[in-house]
Amino acid sequence: MDLLLDAVVTGVLLGCFYAAVSIGLSVSFGLLDVPHVAHPAFLVLASYGVYFLNDSYDIDPLLAGLLITPLLFVFGLAAYRLYYETFERRGTDAAVRGIAFFFGVAFIIEVLIILHFGVDQRSVTASYIGKSWRFGDMRIPLRLMVAFAVATGLTVLLAAYLSRTFMGRAIRAVAQDEEAVRLMGANPVRIKQWAFGIATAVLGIAGALLIIVAPVEPTLDRAYIGRTFCVVVMAGLGSMTGTLIAAIILGVSETIVLTMFGASWAPAISFALLLGVLAVRPQGLLGRR
Amino acid sequence: MKRGSIAFWGTAALFLVAVLAATQLVANEYPFFAGYVILQFIVLSVAWSILGGYAGYVNFGTSAFFGVGVYTGILLFKAAGAPLVVQIAAAAMVGAFLGFAVGLLTLRMQGIFFSIATIALTIVIETTVTNWRFLGGAAGIQIQRPPVTAPFHSYVQLLVFVQAILVVLAVAVARYIQNSWIGRGLQALRDDELAAECTGVPTLRLKMVACVISGALMCAAGAPAAMYLQYADPASAFNLNYSVSVLAMALIGGTSHWIGPVIGAILLGVTQQLLAVTISSEVNVLVLGVMLVVFVVAAPEGIIGLFRKGRRAEGKT
């Protein structure tokens, strides 16, 4: 029983972390319909950026994540521009070629990381890594608490941005009806490009959390393809509240299976959940359709 | 028999004779090791394009089918010492069944959802095999090859010839589908699924047929791989690289004609073999990624699309 409670608490914390790494995809795939399978590769790339700053200048990983955010934003703008010019404007089967395109990009990023940093696992150092808090019998690693706090903050912030600010509402308007936005005299491509920039920019913090929670390696993105897409699809495309709930469900299921059946079953959980959702409730928990 | 068919079967027979002659005349082992991999990729990408090319359903589960083929071979060999032919036939049957199951589960989804669902299935199957002790689990399993039979000097040469037969089989099936009502129906549903359904094309049934055939061929291609490597482990048998390589080969060659994936597989396969020998396997993956991106962006119809465009331009002037 204690074990189960422990698993649930850890699962909730882990889930909030999953929300942080998925929230960008929730914007780019959920709202903009971009088949962004390179999202986890961008995430791992951001982690290596954080590692580089932490390793060579001894900057706190979270601060480092914040520092690379503007860079990622510009990178996102450029990536969307390329995607738009080559696929969306040409029209026909953009999704099919788009997914192949992003897989190619993901592989290129993987290899560039390997060539530059090598295949070894990398981790960061900070005062809150390695310690843990005690609640009665339960021990919770401090790094997971930090990830939990920052991830929740990031998710709430992005959700507020999308529902309260002018630009955020414009992004959701594009997601609902692109043609209507065009008729209102706005440029939907500009808005989508901005949104994709934001979706990539949040990876700065998410990447920092990724390397805080556990060491990273160049091919880690493959494990996160399942997790991030599972969360976004389960959430109902584009729902920020749904993203948080779905991520917590994933986190709790992972830790429960981990404690009951062992780590070797772990990789299948996110994908099995995803398949289940696609089969039973394709519109997700809080779907827009 | 039409003239096209005679030319096709003549070329196929010539190809098999050439491979057989090579196994008798060439003493060096290395070309066979490299050639086997290329032939295997031809089968996989031709099989992939039956569903992915003609119907436009981008299957990322190639490695699932391939891996299941590998492990079907191992299971039969380990449990009953089954000969290679039985392993391949059984793998094809398992593949057909798996294709049917995958089709039932995923073919109602469209676009990226289908693609993601096939990745998901790959990982779920891989995890199951990883946890299956009899098949070696995560650590992998070693296989002792049986003695080689008559005309061949080494087992790898035998495998090359077997894989060459599979190439001919796969291409013949793909060619038949392309020219028959199945292919026309698949192309119709690729262009507009709703319109096809409305005009009476049995879309779901056609997709199921394509998925079953494609799955059977992929599994069959995987079955001899365990004998080739004398070793298998889940992480490499179900590696995502297979899915993406095969997809890249088909897209690079072009998917509107069966010759496309053959050209793409030869081109990319030879490049990768050369790079793996001369530089490293990491650069291999880099080349795969770059070629995929470049072709998808610059030549969406693949190499055969480029040729057709060239021919059309000539016609105009």
Mean pLDDT (chain A) is 84
Write down the pLDDT at residue A91.
Answer: 62
pLDDT tens, B64-97?
999 999 988 888 888 887 788 888 888 899 999 9
Segment A150-178 mean pLDDT: 86
Which of B119, B131, B244 is facing A265, going by the closest CB pair? B131
Pairing of strands B231-232, A132-135: unpaired
Write down the pLDDT at residue A289.
Answer: 47
Which residue in chain A has the smallest CA separation from B291?
A104
pLDDT tens, A183-201?
887 788 888 888 999 999 9
- Of A284 and A34, more confident: A34
Segment B8-21 mean pLDDT: 83
Which of A278, A270, A285, A284 has its CA nearest to residue A225?
A270
Residue B317 scores a pLDDT above 50 = no
Residue B122 scores a pLDDT above 70 = yes
- Chain B, residues 220-279, CB within 8 A of chain A, namely 240, 244, 247-248, 251
Helices (H), ranges, chain B: 3-25, 30-52, 62-80, 84-106, 112-130, 155-179, 181-191, 193-198, 203-222, 225-229, 234-237, 240-253, 259-278, 281-298, 302-316
Residue A288 scores a pLDDT above 70 = no
Interface size between A and B, measured as CB pairs under 8 A: 114
Chain A contact present for B107, CB below 8 A = no
Which residue in chain A has the smallest CA separation from B252?
A100
Which of A222, A233, A279 is facing B105, going by the closest CB pair? A279
Q: How far is Cα B236 from Cα B238, in angstroms, rounded to an integer? A: 5
B81 vs chain A: nearest CA distance in angstroms? 29
Q: Tell the residue number behind the tokens 């509240």, with chain if given.
A: A241
Write down the pLDDT at residue A77.
Answer: 92
Asked whether the beta carbons of A267 and B113 are under 8 A apart, the reply is no
Q: Please answer yes or no on whether B109 and A282 come within 8 Å at the CB atom.
A: yes
CATH class of A2-117+137-280: mainly alpha
- Chain B hits for A229, Cβ within 8 Å: 116
**Does residue A197 sit in helix, strand or coil?**
helix
- Of A135 and B239, more confident: B239
pLDDT category, B105, cuts 50, 70, 90? confident
Asked whether the beta carbons of B190 and B210 are under 8 A apart, the reply is no
- Of B277 and B247, more confident: B247
pLDDT category, A93, cuts 50, 70, 90? low
Chosen for mutation from A103, A228, A232 (greatest number of chain B CBs closer than 10 Å) is A103
A26 vs chain B: nearest CA distance in angstroms? 15
Which residue in chain A has the smallest CA separation from B56?
A96
Q: How far is Cα B244 from Cα A114, in angstroms, rounded to an integer? A: 18
Residue A175 scores a pLDDT above 60 = yes
Strand partners, A122: A216
Q: How far is CA B92 from the centre of its chain?
A: 12
Chain A contact present for B119, CB below 8 A = yes
- Chain A hits for B126, Cβ within 8 Å: 267-268
Q: Please answer yes or no on whether A274 and B117 come within 8 Å at the CB atom.
A: yes
CA distances from B254 to A99, A148, A250, B212 (A): 16, 47, 39, 22
pLDDT tens, A199-243?
999 999 898 888 888 888 888 888 888 888 888 888 877 778 888
Q: What angle do CA A46, A48, A50 make, to 5 degrees?
A: 70
Q: Find the radius of gyration of the CA atoms of chain A.
A: 19
- Of A286 and B215, more confident: B215
CB atoms near residue A282 (< 10 Å): 15
Q: Which two tokens stand for residue A186?
A: 């706005």
pLDDT tens, B261-305?
898 889 888 888 888 777 777 787 888 888 888 888 877 777 887
CA distances from A146 to A40, A130, A168, A208, B180 (A): 21, 12, 27, 11, 61
Chain A contact present for B285, CB below 8 A = yes
Q: Tell the residue number behind the tokens 């002659």, with chain if given.
A: B21
Q: How far is Cα A234 from Cα B43, in angstroms, rounded to an integer? A: 36
Helices (H), ranges, chain A: 2-25, 39-57, 61-83, 94-117, 142-164, 166-176, 178-183, 188-201, 203-213, 221-235, 240-261, 266-280
Which of A95, A101, A106 is facing B296, going by the closest CB pair? A101
- Chain A hits for B289, Cβ within 8 Å: 103-108, 110-111
Which of A108, A268, A279 is facing B290, going by the closest CB pair? A108
Strand partners, B142: B231
Task: Give the H/E segment covering residue A141.
Answer: strand A138-141
Chain A contact present for B162, CB below 8 A = no
Write down the pLDDT at residue B314.
Answer: 61
Q: Please answer yes or no on whether A95 and B300 come within 8 Å at the CB atom.
A: no
Q: Tell the residue number behind the tokens 């692109």, with chain if given.
A: A178
Strand partners, B7: none
Write down the pLDDT at residue A283.
Answer: 67
- Of B102 and B149, more confident: B102
Chain A contact present for B192, CB below 8 A = no
Segment A144-169 mean pLDDT: 87
Write down the pLDDT at residue B313.
Answer: 63
Q: How far is Cα B290 from Cα A94, in angstroms, rounded to an integer? A: 19
pLDDT category, A1, cuts 50, 70, 90? low
Greatest mean pLDDT among A94-98, A261-265, B118-122 lies in B118-122
Residue A74 scores a pLDDT above 90 = yes
Which of A35, A104, A282 is facing B292, going by the closest CB pair? A104
Which residue in chain B has the smallest CA separation from A102?
B293
A265 vs chain B: nearest CA distance in angstroms? 6
- Chain B hits for A226, Cβ within 8 Å: 119-120, 123
Q: Please answer yes or no on whether A265 and B127 come within 8 Å at the CB atom.
A: yes
Asked whether the beta carbons of B232 and B141 are under 8 A apart, the reply is yes
Chosen for mutation from A107, A261, A265 (greatest number of chain B CBs closer than 10 Å) is A107
Asked whether the beta carbons of A226 and B119 are under 8 A apart, the reply is yes
Q: What proportion of chain B, given as a percentage, has pLDDT over 70? A: 97
Which of B106, B285, B292 is facing A100, going by the closest CB pair? B292
Q: How far is Cα A207 from Cα B260, in angstroms, rounded to an integer? A: 40
pLDDT tens, B17-54?
888 887 777 777 788 888 888 999 999 999 998 888 88
Q: How far is Cα A118 from Cα A111, in angstroms, rounded to an integer? A: 9
pLDDT tens, B172-208?
998 888 888 888 888 888 877 888 888 888 888 888 8
Q: Please answer yes or no on whether A111 and B285 come within 8 Å at the CB atom.
A: yes
Residue A165 scores a pLDDT above 80 = yes
Which residue in chain A has the smallest CA separation from B125?
A268
Q: Please answer yes or no on whether A86 and B297 come within 8 Å at the CB atom.
A: yes
Q: Tell the residue number behind the tokens 């951001």, with chain if given.
A: A46
DSSP state of B254: -
Q: Which two tokens stand for residue B21?
A: 């002659």
Q: How far is Cα B105 from Cα A102, in angstroms, rounded to an integer? A: 25
Q: Please answer yes or no on whether B117 and A103 come within 8 Å at the CB atom.
A: no
Query: Who contacts B300 (Cβ-Cβ below 8 Å, separation ≥6)?
Result: A90, A97
